[in-house]
Amino acid sequence: MIGICKDDFAARREKLKAVYEWSESFSAIPTNQSVKSIAARVDNAKTQFSGLVEVWSNLKDIEIVGVVMYVGQDLAGHQTSGIFGGSEMIRNFINENGIDVQSLMDKYTAIFKCLRNSDSADARVASTSSIGDVGSVLELCCHTKETLRDCNHRVFGSMMKEKMLAALRDLHITRGIEVGDPQKVSWHWLLKFLWKSHLTIVNWPHGVSPLGPGFKYKKLKAGPLHQLLVPYLQRKLGLLYDGQTNDEEEQDSLDDVLEIAIKCWNKEAINILDADPLKAEIVLIKATDGTVLWQISDDPEWQKSLKEMDRQQQGTEVL
């Protein structure tokens, strides 16, 4: 230690007084935070480590950077996780270089959660194909400061676009048909997009309001969202999936829900002309139990197109 003899323990201890004081109070919990609160404990850990590394930075010219990472199931605990450093130099470096700390935290939280939940971590994580690449997995997990409901709303939108794109690719490969971009289609016009693209949605959860005019996915409550997403999340996340609810009975019931799928029409259905009455009976959305929720004739846009065809036909007859 600069300016202090290595044998002068009293002087050295005085110099490092702040470090010793921190060590003695390491297990203390602030009085305004509950011991039972996971978020409070995570935040307390960050505060304590930040104080310690600041002392080392000021007294020993040693910069320490680290993270406090919560890998359990409590959303508040995950949101409170964060990085700590001993000086403003660390913060400035992060800001000046545009380092996305949130993405890094999400990435490594997902990785360590997987490792923590695995019996033989390296082998199982590496060999589990359902986990996929870390980037896609992170998009299915709650982001920092994102509520579970907001996360589910976001994931539902991306799930439907993913399934739509996969079905359209299949349609192009098997039938040679190219259609529009589903990412530019609003929920209100989805039925029209389905019949224009020769697609049918199946396994829609019975009792959940189906897609179509008036459908607003951001207003879906927890129960319907769970039915729509759980099978998809279980398949995509694999070991990382830790459930959508703490209610064991509800979770057990969700285990039997089938995953939503989007299917291409067969060749015969595709070749049916719009003027053919059979076209109106083609199913657009079907429930898991086989109930037809929407067919082409139910779509207001289809009804408009029929009226337009009738008007044009009448005009031709007059001429």
User: Could you tell me if 279 and 169 lie in one domain?
Assistant: yes
At 227-241, the pLDDT tens digits run 999 999 888 877 667
Q: Based on the domain organization, do 202 and 83 belong to the same domain? A: no
> Both 152 and 248 in a single domain?
yes
| 93/242 same-domain check | no
299 falls within a domain: yes
If asked whether residues 213 and 294 sit together in one domain, one would say yes
Is there a domain that residue 220 lies in?
A: yes
Distance of alpha carbon 221 from alpha carbon 310, whole angstroms: 42
Q: What is the spatial distance between Cα 161 and Cα 45, in angstroms, rounded to a whole number? A: 40
- Between the alpha carbon of residue 224 and those of residues 191, 202, 307, the distances in Å are 20, 16, 36
Residue-level pLDDT at 317: 55
> In terms of domains, do 232 and 151 share one?
yes
Residue 263 backbone class (left: φ over 0; alpha: ψ -120 to 50; beta: rest): beta
Domain boundary among 43, 65, 99: 99
Question: Which among 69, 84, 99 is the end of a domain?
Answer: 99
The pLDDT assigned to 246 comes to 65
| Two structure tokens written together for 224 | 């319907």
CA atoms of 126 and 131, how far apart (whole Å): 9
Domain termination residue (choose one: 99, 115, 137): 99
Give domain status of residue 114, yes or no.
no
Amino acid at 80: T
Residue 166 CA: distances (Å) to CA of 84, 172, 181: 42, 10, 12
For 123-157, the pLDDT digits (tens) are: 344 334 344 455 566 677 777 677 888 888 989 98
Whether residues 168 and 42 share a domain: the answer is: no
The verdict on residue 108 lying in a domain is no
Chain centroid to Cα 208, Å, comes to: 20
Q: Measured between alpha carbons, how far is 86 from 50 in angstroms, rounded to an integer?
A: 6
Flag whether 138 is in a domain. Answer: no
Tally of domains within the chain:
2
For residues 95 and 160, membership in a common domain is answered with no
Distance CA 269, CA 274 (A): 11
The upper half-sphere exposure of residue 203, i.e. CA atoms within 13 Å in the direction of its Cβ, equals: 16
Tens digits of residue pLDDT in 200-214: 999 999 889 898 888
Same domain? For 47 and 160 the reply is: no
Predicted confidence (pLDDT) per residue in 53-109, tens digit: 888 888 878 888 888 888 776 766 777 788 888 778 887 888 787 777 777 777 777
User: Does 176 map to a domain?
Assistant: yes
Q: Is the pLDDT of residue 264 over 80?
A: yes
Q: Which of 160-169, 174-183, 270-279, 283-292 has the lowest mean pLDDT?
A: 174-183
Question: Quick one: 81 and 161 in the same domain?
Answer: no
Residue 244 corresponds to which amino acid? Q
Tell me which residue range forms the domain holding 88: 9-99
- Is 141 within the bounds of a domain? no
Domain assignment of residue 122, yes or no: no
User: Closest Cα to residue 151, out of 92, 250, 42, 229?
Assistant: 229
| Single-letter amino acid, residue 266 | N
> In terms of C-beta density within 10 A (0-12 exposed, 13-18 middle, 19 or more buried), how is residue 194 classed?
buried
What pLDDT is stored for residue 316 in this prediction?
60
Same domain for 277 and 216: yes
Query: Residue 123's pLDDT is what?
Result: 31
User: What is the 3-state secondary structure of the chain?
Assistant: CCCCCCCCHHHHHHHCHHHHHHHHCCCCCCCCCCCCCHHHHHHHHHHHHHHHHHHHHHHHCCCCEEEECCCCCCHHHHHHCEEEECCHHHHHHHHHCCCCHHHHHHHHHHHHHHHHHCCCHHHHHHHCHHHCCHHHHHHHCCCCCCCHHHHHHHHHHHHHHHHHHHHHHHHHHHHCCCCCCHHHCCHHHHHHHHHHHCEEEEEECCCCCCCCCCCCHHHCCHHHHHHHHHHHHHHHHHHHCCCCCCCHHHHHHHCCCCCCEEEECCHHHHCCCCCCHHHHHCEEEEECCCCEEEEHHHCHHHHHHHHHHHHHHHHHHHC
Q: Are residues 57 and 171 in the same domain?
A: no
Instruction: Give this prediction's pTM.
Output: 0.59
